[in-house]
Amino acid sequence: MTTRAVAEAMLPAMDRWHTIIEPFRIHSVEPIRLTTVEERERALEAAGFNLFGLHADDVLIDLLTDSGTGAMSRDQWAAIQHGDESYAGSPSFYRFLEAVQALFPFRHVIPTHQGRAAEKILFSAIGGPGRTIPNNTHFDTTRANVEATGAEAVDCVIPEGLVPSTLHPFKGNMDLAALEALIRERGAENVPAVFVTITNNSGGGQPVSLANLRGVRAICDRFGLPLFLDACRFAENAWFIHEREDGQAARPIPDIVREIASLADGMTMSAKKDGLANIGGWLAMDDDGLAERCRTLLILTEGFPTYGGLAGRDLEAIAQGLEEVVDEDYLRYRIRSTAYLGEALDEAGVPVVLPIGGHAVYLDARALLPHIPPLAYPGQALAVALYREGGIRGCEIGTVMFGRHPDGTEAPAAMDLVRLAIPRRTYTQSHIDYAIEVVRHVATLAPELRGFRIEDEPAALRHFTARFAPL
């Protein structure tokens, strides 16, 4: 064998060829209903132009979220059959506990029905008026759960993280100087925890480096503060560290995840993302006293601490999912297939957040629709057009989601994006090729698109239920 042939023989299967192949084959199929533009226009009217209000079977390609929408594996469905529904001490809980602690060896692991339940419990325990929670960027539910206690949620992502077109390998990094200044200004006694979201969902699915996490840890140590991870996409973040951070390429993914965990004192988690499950989450920590307070709150609303709002079968599916999500073939496919969509749109001149994130491609609606001011919701206009033209459901992440403040005022969000989130192991490359075609077509219609006004909105988390009217 020549040296080149030996080198090629040692490459992982997907690095040798240009074509991205899904590292699985399809075992059971779900039909997609092919709708017409006219049908979709009627559906939009009925939903008040809010894509959360659509019937999902009126959607062709559903890129609303990657949360709980992925396909489970044969082995996860098999694990479900092992689900033990004992109220207390189910063996399924112990399998779940072992799988979580193999990656995140925190002393206390408290299952919850999803990520926001973990957030609600934790912030009820540590939040409250006068308190401040720093984060690289709070996700919407995280921010809402902090604010619901009267505490303030402050984002401290690096400046590059707020400019869609800026290239940076770890655009989700915390701005360490801003974090330190915030803690000094508010007083460490008023900061019950520092959070880091991996990857940074609201900022484009961008990763955080190990070096940055070590920097946050050092600041927390200096002020005696606990560091918590919002770890929804920890495996995707670990893959970016493996690919982009010096000295990490040869490390197995579980080792990188364990180092991330070793830098923190606890975590909140939605297992609907990198748990590869349709439902579930957990709250974990080392602090015994805090864990006791959280378990007491858990029993009030979620259930007994060995099931916490989940069925035993869900705990089994998560345990199996955690083994599968750190597989390198899976992660290579996952990140490359998201990049495939993003790179095709970038090459076509559609403005996207760069570099392409882990779980989603974020279209820069403010750049594509400069004639629509932020308070006329360019992200909403673009998301509606993608659905009307091609039946693609994305999610506005911009002024609709973040523009209304607790004091009732409204201001433009930092960015107006439309997120095309890719459910895990669900769509094939031809579905993605179709999405590329639709987005490119909608970009040609950009000058004709009009903004929206909100007709009706709730007091918080308005993006889920607000009704819109075209301007």
Chain residues binding ligand PLP by CB under 6 A are 67, 114-116, 139, 141-142, 197, 201, 230, 232, 270, 272, 281
Identity of the residue numbered 185: E
Specify the residue, 131 or 272, whose C-beta has the smaller distance to ligand PLP.
Answer: 272
Task: Please give the Cα distance from 57 to 49 (Å, whole number).
Answer: 16
Specify the residue, 191 or 421, whose C-beta has the smaller distance to ligand PLP.
Answer: 421
Specify the residue, 117 or 344, whose C-beta has the smaller distance to ligand PLP.
Answer: 117
**Min separation Cβ 270 and ligand PLP, Å:** 3
Task: Please give the Cα distance from 397 to 66 (Å, whole number).
Answer: 14
User: DSSP string covering 323-367, please?
Assistant: HHHT-HHHHHHHHHHHHHHHHHHHHTT--B-SS--SSEEEEEHHH
**Nearest-CB residue for ligand PLP:** 115
Task: Please give the Cα distance from 102 to 83 (Å, whole number).
Answer: 20
**Min separation Cβ 349 and ligand PLP, Å:** 29
Please give the structure tokens belonging to residue 32: 């997609």
Pairing, β 395-397 against β 417-421: antiparallel
**Min separation Cβ 114 and ligand PLP, Å:** 3
Interhelix angle 234-244/328-347, rounded to 10 degrees, is: 80
Task: Please give the Cα distance from 156 to 172 (Å, whole number).
Answer: 10
Identity of the residue numbered 125: A
User: DSSP string covering 113-146, please?
Assistant: SSHHHHHHHHHHHH--TT-EEEESS--HHHHHHH
**Min separation Cβ 463 and ligand PLP, Å:** 12
Per the listing, tokens 């990490």 go with 248
Task: Please give the Cα distance from 264 to 62 (Å, whole number).
Answer: 34
Specify the residue, 205 or 390, whose C-beta has the smaller distance to ligand PLP.
Answer: 205
Specify the residue, 68 or 373, whose C-beta has the smaller distance to ligand PLP.
Answer: 68
Residues recorded for the chain: 471
Task: Please give the Cα distance from 60 to 41 (Å, whole number).
Answer: 14
Task: Please give the Cα distance from 249 to 150 (Å, whole number).
Answer: 43
Identity of the residue numbered 287: D
Specify the residue, 198 or 443, whose C-beta has the smaller distance to ligand PLP.
Answer: 198
**Min separation Cβ 142 and ligand PLP, Å:** 5
Q: How many CB atoms lie within 10 A of CB 303?
A: 16
**Min separation Cβ 438 and ligand PLP, Å:** 24
Q: CA 57: distance to chain centroid?
A: 23
Specify the residue, 281 or 312, whose C-beta has the smaller distance to ligand PLP.
Answer: 281
**Min separation Cβ 143 and ligand PLP, Å:** 10
**Min separation Cβ 68 and ligand PLP, Å:** 7
Q: Give the long-range contacts of residues 91-97, CB within 8 A, separation 24 or more.
A: 92/312, 92/313, 92/315, 92/316, 92/319, 93/306, 93/307, 93/312, 93/315, 95/315, 95/316, 95/319, 96/315, 96/316, 96/318, 96/319
Specify the residue, 67 or 212, whose C-beta has the smaller distance to ligand PLP.
Answer: 67
Specify the residue, 145 or 306, whose C-beta has the smaller distance to ligand PLP.
Answer: 145
Specify the residue, 238 or 368, whose C-beta has the smaller distance to ligand PLP.
Answer: 238
Specify the residue, 121 or 446, whose C-beta has the smaller distance to ligand PLP.
Answer: 121
**Min separation Cβ 268 and ligand PLP, Å:** 7
**Min separation Cβ 423 and ligand PLP, Å:** 12
Interhelix angle 253-262/91-103, rounded to 10 degrees, is: 90
Backbone conformation region of residue 209, classed left if phi is above 0, alpha if psi is from -120 to 50, else beta: beta
**Min separation Cβ 12 and ligand PLP, Å:** 28
